Amino acid sequence: MRDLGVGFSYLLKGQRWVARHGKQYGFGLLPGLITLVLYAAALVALALWGAAFVAWATPFADDWSSPWLGLFRGFLTAVLFALALLLSVLTFTAVTLLVGQPFYENLSEKVDRDVSPDGTAPESGLPLWRELWISARDSLRIVFRALLWGVLLFALGFIPVVGQTVVPVIGFVVTGFFLTEELTAVALQRRGVELRDRLALLRSRKTLVWGFGTPLGVAFLVPFVAVFLMPGAVAGATLMARELLGEETVEENAEDAEDADDGAATDDKRVTR
């Protein structure tokens, strides 16, 4: 259970890092704003023409008598919109990272340099077009997995009691895992870690991943919050990626030095006595 708190602390550390680096935070907002506008336009269009789409997709119900026709198509319209909202939450991060690949790569590298003992950051050595291709390919794979989970959980939501209690909790946990994978991918791809290895790495520290991604997934349900948290989420995920790979950070060194000082002070006290 300790890892849950550690994972959450990385989320907070990432937000503090971007708060201290205002310029990076400003650039990091742009991809989220672009994606938010695109998603909002799609949801508004669905709200306006969703009923017409359902009517077009269910011609077999045209001859049904009232009120069954209205109830049936109204239910399907509500289901369609709810599913669209769920998929928006599951895919927002992947699309934002894809749109803002150069921005977030730059931000992640600066975090690495800031906390690395030697002030350096790992580099992939690949041209930009290659990095974009790998990012797009891996994002599609993750989105596909997320869609499968989303459809499954949505269907399970119709089970009485369980669907209204257990399933939403599982949904947030699953969402948190996929969010963390997408965010840590920015730092791990630069280190040449393939998707299969990234997933295995995250599964080895599930509670750490849930502690980071689940609160973030809950926060992303609030309109506009995802846009403002994304830069800090990328920064925090970079810090967490370093722990997953066992890399030292300046902060860890500082803690070690502090412990050493405390130990030295204790020895001095013993000598004095």
- The reported pTM is 0.75
Rounded to whole angstroms, the Cα distance separating 238 from 111 reads 7
First to last CA, the chain: 40
Question: Where along the chain do its domains lie?
Answer: 2-247
| Residue 148 φ/ψ, nearest 5 degrees | -60, -45
The whole-angstrom separation of Cα 85 and Cα 135 is 24
pLDDT in tens, the chain (273 residues): 678 889 999 999 999 999 998 887 887 888 888 888 888 898 899 888 988 888 898 888 888 888 888 888 888 888 888 778 777 777 787 788 878 878 888 899 999 999 988 888 888 777 777 877 887 888 788 878 877 887 888 788 778 777 778 888 888 898 889 889 989 998 998 898 999 999 999 999 999 999 999 999 888 877 678 888 989 999 999 999 999 998 888 764 444 444 434 444 444 433 333
Tokens matching residue 58: 């269910």
DSSP string, the chain: -HHHHHHHHHHHHHHHHHHH-HHHHHHHHHHHHHHHHHHHHHHHHHHHHHHHHHHHH-GGGTTPPTTHHHHHHHHHHHHHHHHHHHHHHHHHHHHHHHHTHHHHHHHHHHHHHHHSTTS--------HHHHHHHHHHHHHHHHHHHHHHHHHHHHHTTSTTHHHHHHHHHHHHHHHHHHHHHHHHHHHHHTT--HHHHHHHHHTTHHHHHHHHHHHHHHTTSTTHHHHHHHHHHHHHHHHHHHHTT---HHHHHHHHHHHHHHHHHHHHHHH-
- pLDDT tens for 55-69 read 898 888 888 888 888
Alpha carbons 95 and 35: distance in angstroms, whole number: 7
